[in-house]
Amino acid sequence: MANVSNYSASYEGAFLQPGQQHGWWMTHSNWERLLANFQVNVSAHPWVFAAHTPPPPQELMVTDLRSHINTSGGRVLYFNVRNTGPNPVRVYIVCFSFITD
């Protein structure tokens, strides 16, 4: 039966302007188990502070997801979060899910 684990991280700082991107990386504590058979999903979501006020349109995209093994056997996922919308984004959430059998 498949197992799913989830993790999230956030960015809050200078505005991510339209067309700009942030580089991210992450590791997992149990790569040996994951490498047997796994799937990784990554998504990014703008954060809206005032639910009662309609926010300006915001859109983010996860691009260039890459899996890397270095010379010491360490494993890292690299990816970018790009602002593909018409307005700056100040805060966003990145969500990860790992599916293993």
If you average pLDDT over residues 21-27, what whole number do you get? 92
Per-domain boundaries in the chain: 3-100
Give the confidence band of 3 by pLDDT, cuts at 50, 70, 90: confident
Q: How far apart are CA 80 and CA 37, in angstroms?
A: 24
Q: Does residue 99 carry a pLDDT above 90?
A: no
Kindly report, residue by residue over 40-88, the tens digit of the pLDDT: 789 999 987 766 677 789 999 999 999 887 787 777 889 999 999 999 9
Q: Does residue 20 carry a pLDDT above 90?
A: yes
Place of tokens 């005032």: 50
